[in-house]
């Protein structure tokens, strides 16, 4: 049997209300040289039955039933099972737009490692919008330029809305997230870890994939705490230690600026250890990232006055929690 051009990797967990929409959108594509790896991650609802149903009517659908282990380990299993020349990652509560696979395939066949499309979102009320990023069209040439664009958030951080040359990936792409139990932001980690193999990326301002916003999903009901961030840092340490010094320093400066926002999130306590580290680095980071990354002035107000900064951020968090969060809190991921 010939290997398919595209392997579509679909983790499945508690999505019976949306799964048929997702799978029907794949079946209706006008490009048919694909396989679909459906990975039932121990879903307790009717999703496994739906997966088996589609596998029974189309031999391109392959179902893997496994115990619940989280999306990171599930994507690793998907990689192990996939045999296509290219990879497309689809979340099972999202769906492809008509003609999307052909658009992706035709473009990546021109010699790109990745082809990324705009991020088209659909809200719970049926409202649709495009999530914008500084880079949405044109090309990035070279692994360092791609990595810097990722670090500074100039491109979308998701595995979806794109097609990838399969040889960019290996088991080690997914293992850090598995070993450190990272199941939120694990797609950014995978994208980050393939960067050294990426030579040429195309961005096209065409929607081919609909990302459906789930207000009850983990991305909306939780926030990554200091411990989670530290765990992510440890997971990436072996990779980061091998980067050129200029890229490591660039990443450290961006990380310093990114961490400032966590002092202004009501659910997260003030971390004095992180504050002292950031306070020493923040001026250098702001100076060297000027014109590259936006830093909200409110984040650095009183930054060199420890007690005042503490009181200022706590008051901000209290008012934000009352006015914007309506006294509701999200779960802190540790």
- For the entire predicted model, the pTM comes to 0.93
| 88-102, 116-130, 156-170, 208-222: least confident range | 208-222
Per-residue pLDDT at 184 exceeds 80: yes
Mean pLDDT of 122-131: 87
pLDDT at 217: 58
Cα–Cα distance for residue pair 144/156, rounded to 1 Å: 17
pLDDT at 218: 61
Per-residue pLDDT at 219 exceeds 90: no
pLDDT at 1: 54
Domains of the chain: 6-214 (3.90.550.10), 222-333 (no CATH)
- pLDDT tens per residue, range 11-55: 999 999 999 999 999 999 999 999 999 999 999 999 999 999 999
Strand partners, 200: 141
Task: State the pLDDT confidence band at 125, using cuts at 50, 70 and 90.
Answer: confident
pLDDT at 163: 98
Cα–Cα distance for residue pair 105/114, rounded to 1 Å: 10
Mean pLDDT of 209-228: 80
Mean pLDDT of 165-193: 95
pLDDT at 329: 86
Residues 6+ apart with CB under 8 A from 91: 10, 11, 22, 160, 211
Task: State the pLDDT confidence band at 334, using cuts at 50, 70 and 90.
Answer: confident
Q: What percent of the chain has pLDDT over 70?
A: 98
Cα–Cα distance for residue pair 278/280, rounded to 1 Å: 5
Query: Could you tell me which of 27, 51, 57 has the C-alpha nearest to residue 39?
Result: 51
User: Residue 65: how many CB atoms within 10 A of its CB?
Assistant: 14
pLDDT at 216: 59
- pLDDT tens per residue, range 244-288: 999 999 999 999 999 999 999 999 999 999 999 999 999 999 999
Q: Quote the mean pLDDT of the chain.
A: 94
pLDDT at 215: 60
């Amino acid at each position: 049997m010939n290997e398919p051009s595209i392997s579509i990797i679909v983790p499945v967990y508690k999505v019976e209300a949306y799964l048929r929409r997702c799978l029907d959108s794949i079946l209706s594509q006008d490009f048919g040289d694909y396989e679909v790896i459906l990975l039932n991650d121990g879903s307790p609802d009717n999703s496994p039955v739906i997966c088996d149903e589609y596998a029974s009517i189309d031999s391109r659908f392959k179902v893997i039933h496994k115990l619940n282990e989280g999306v990171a380990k599930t994507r690793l299993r998907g990689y192990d099972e996939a045999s296509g020349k290219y990879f497309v990652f689809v979340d099972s509560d999202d769906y492809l737009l008509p003609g999307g696979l052909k658009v992706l395939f035709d473009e990546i066949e021109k010699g790109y490692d990745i082809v990324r499309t705009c991020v088209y979102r659909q809200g719970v009320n049926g409202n649709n919008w495009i999530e914008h990023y500084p880079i949405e069209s044109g090309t990035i040439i070279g692994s360092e330029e791609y990595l810097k664009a990722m670090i500074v958030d100039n491109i979308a951080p998701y595995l979806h809305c794109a097609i990838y040359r399969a040889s960019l990936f290996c088991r080690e792409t997914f293992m850090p997230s598995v070993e450190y139990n990272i199941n939120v932001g694990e797609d950014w980690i995978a994208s980050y870890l393939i960067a050294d193999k990426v030579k040429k990326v195309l961005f096209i301002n065409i929607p081919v994939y609909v990302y459906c916003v789930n207000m009850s999903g983990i991305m909306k009901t939780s926030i990554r705490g200091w411990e989670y961030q530290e765990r992510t840092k440890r997971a990436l340490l072996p990779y980061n230690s091998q980067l050129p010094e200029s890229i490591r320093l660039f990443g450290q400066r961006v990380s310093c600026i990114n961490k400032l926002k966590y002092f202004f999130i009501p659910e997260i306590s003030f971390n004095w250890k992180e504050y002292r580290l950031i306070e020493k680095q923040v001026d250098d980071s702001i100076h060297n990232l000027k014109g590259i990354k936006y830093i909200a002035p409110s984040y650095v107000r009183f930054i060199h006055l420890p007690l005042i900064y503490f009181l200022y951020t706590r008051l901000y968090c209290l008012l934000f929690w009352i006015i914007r969060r309506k006294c509701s809190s999200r779960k802190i991921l540790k």
